[in-house]
Structure 1
Amino acid sequence: MNEDNKTVEVVKPVPLKNLPDLKAIREERGLTTEDIFLKTRINSAILNAIEHGEFHLLPAPVSTKKFIRIYAETIGIDAEIILAHYQRYVDEKQVPEEINVVKASAALERKPFSSYLRYILPAVAIIAAVCIMYAFVPKKEPQGIVQQDVTKGVAPAPVPPPAPAVKEPLPEALPTVPPTTAPAVIVPKEAPQTPDTAHLNLLVEATEDTWLSITEDRKAPFQITLKKGEKLSRTAREFFVIDVGNAAGVNINFLGKSLGTLGRKGQVVHLRLPQQ
């Protein structure tokens, strides 16, 4: 047989039995596509494509064959029945591509070498012309070398000598003024304040949680519970009346002086400041 008359023989497929009604089989089992999805996690679009034989809507063959086996097992039929129809679809889809590849290869083999010369010769001529032009074109010297030679031939400009410094006349000495002594300021001594007119200052610092009741002059009592570390500052004009619920839990300063330890822990103490 002549190579120019090559043909590809395509084997006709053996007819298959019709694909069973998968939807009817599924419904006989009392299953819905939602039930199969919940069990297999195969989405309803793929399940419907398998049931209706719409194989062109399915993903790659590796994944599709796996889905078909899981679907067939779920509805209780032999998976090979569906796989045979799907494989026939895959084979028929690939046959035209193989035929086109064989025809293209045969056409390349039949094409004589002389037909390629009309493309090769012009390309070789262009490459040769470029090489000849590059060989005969004079090369330009780098501009940096010329600039360097010109720089060397120019003599440096003379630097003028510095101008002599002009001495400024010294300022005349100012007449010295004898220091004057400021008059002493006499500060009158403050008269001692009596408890009747001066403000009385009270500072209470809690070392433990302590209940306090403080009466300032003739006002209503002020009651508070101080936490450990808290401070309380009060003022009065005449006197303080203080009730302490935990004598060992406070440190009282009156007029800037500490009263020291007031008593035992948990002891109730009654004070009047200043003492009568």
Structure 2
Amino acid sequence: MAESEEQVFSGSAIGSRLRSAREDKGMTLEDVANRTRIPTRHLEKIEAGDWDALPAATYTVGFARSFADVVGLNGNEIANAIRAEIGHNRRPAVAPIYEPTDPARVPPKGLVIAAGAFALLLAVGYGVWRSTAFDDGDATQVAVQAPNVAVPKAVAPQPTPAPATDGPVVITATDEVWLRIYEGNGGPRLKEGTMKAGERYEVPATAAAPQILTGRPDAIQVTVGPTAIPQLGPAQRTISNVSLKPADLIARLDGASAAAPVLTPNARSAP
């Protein structure tokens, strides 16, 4: 059994496993690209196991993790396998070779010391001149001639209005994004599909425990009444089970842990 598992994660077999999982879910590469925002050409290279044709190792591992999450595989397991594969096959970077400095181009040590001493003398001389250029009489004359300057009165700070704790929860797409809005605890789905840039959706006020699932929290803007809520999760990372109740969203303005996003490696965990 151990030998079989090792074969699954060697060479292009990693890409084969991702391709099989995608086909089992009935998804095309375009479907995965729409869900992850990863270019189709990169997804093709991942399925082919052609790591050298992909960007830096960090991006390759991140792309593969998101790919695995969308098709129902363990993203961390796939990422670790690819990280090991890339580290085994790629050649280490060669440190650049620098030519030694030509001694003929370096100024003599004596010249450097003389230049430093000359600069020091100039600085001391300028300081002495400044101290003697203005006597007490000049200072008094400057003080007499100085015009009266009105000191502005301090302006009392205006109280910052507290954010609204109640109001319609509106989700606005800033880019094309797929999402699902659903009732928590196994409740029904309120909305599911792709929203175009500029499209808005208002969460029903009758929803008891509305939650959201999406692979692009950076492509939506959430507001509670007139109050803009911070981004619900890291860019290009799938979030689910994130509460859309007004009070929980407003709590994010103070960094409340109760409203922190739940990152799930498998998008199928939501209803």
Higher relative contact order (CA 8 A, sep 6+): 2
Q: Return the structure number with greater helix share.
A: 2
Same fold by TM-score greater than 0.5: no
Greater C-alpha Rg: 1
